[in-house]
Amino acid sequence: MADKNCPKCKGYGFTLTEEVYMGSPVTVPCICMLKEALKLQCEKAWKDLSSVPVDRKSPMIGKMKENLRLIASQTELAIHLRTAILSERNPTLNIRVVSDATLISAWLSNVSDDNKVDPDLIRDINVRGLEDLAEAPDLLIVRLGVKRARNSATSEVLIETIELRQHLNKATWIVEEPNKPLQEGHLAWSSALEDTLNGWKIYNVNGADSFATAQTKKKPNLSLDFKKAQL
């Protein structure tokens, strides 16, 4: 995964050191190998994530293994997540960003199209698609507020997902839209969900970053088409 145009290694993926061992020069992996791996990790987590800017002061740095709630717009989530990934420098971590709608579809895919889902039935569902989505990632990031229609299963599915992942000792981030806080009246809210999230730290990065705020103002229809940023 070396960068073909890398000025340091010319695409070989390693550089020579001054040292010699058993008659051969000692080589070290080039930094471009890590950069490429982190880029792939970003793209796997969320399409186009590798091209958003970073915020070196992000409070998300070092939080990849923590359960937390994050108040952020889509743009802000992208900036802070990419920053966290680049700071972590661990391309083997499996990270996924999903919407609440996607998560619910995965949970309900096995329960036909009956809207009245028995929580006990949900508990018994164990399909491969769900495992991939809710269990496999080392860090699962669930964006709330994407699903518009009320569905009584929403908070139940979130609770099941969180409990499943806590059982596996894997981290989950719950991301709330700044104008749709997770409180009574929110489509996903329930007192049971609030109990489940009890004790989770809440980070509010909305408007915290001047660059992100400026971007948001310029582009009211949020998208990830930022200009390329340097690693």
Query: Where do contacts with Zn ion occur on this chain (CB under 5 A)?
Result: 6, 8-9, 30, 32
Cβ-based nearer residue to Zn ion, 35 or 69: 35
Cβ-based nearer residue to Zn ion, 30 or 78: 30
Q: What ranges in 93-148 are assigned the alpha helix state H? A: 100-108, 119-124, 128-130
Cβ-based nearer residue to Zn ion, 27 or 51: 27
- Least Å distance between CB 14 and Zn ion? 8
d(CA 130, CA 98): 12
Cβ-based nearer residue to Zn ion, 30 or 171: 30
Q: ∠ CA 51-208-35 to the nearest 5 degrees?
A: 25
Cβ-based nearer residue to Zn ion, 15 or 213: 15
d(CA 30, CA 12): 8
Q: Are 158 and 193 in contact (CB under 8 A)?
A: yes
- Least Å distance between CB 3 and Zn ion? 5
Q: What ranges in 46-116 are assigned the alpha helix state H? A: 74-88, 100-108
- Of 175, 199, 181, 173, nearest in space to 63 by CA: 173
- Least Å distance between CB 4 and Zn ion? 9
Cβ-based nearer residue to Zn ion, 1 or 127: 1
d(CA 117, CA 155): 12
Which token pair is 137?
A: 């990632």
Q: Report which DSSP code applies to 50.
A: G
Rounded to the nearest 10 degrees, what angle do helices 31-45 and 74-88 cross at? 150
- Least Å distance between CB 1 and Zn ion? 10
- Least Å distance between CB 228 and Zn ion? 18
- Least Å distance between CB 115 and Zn ion? 54
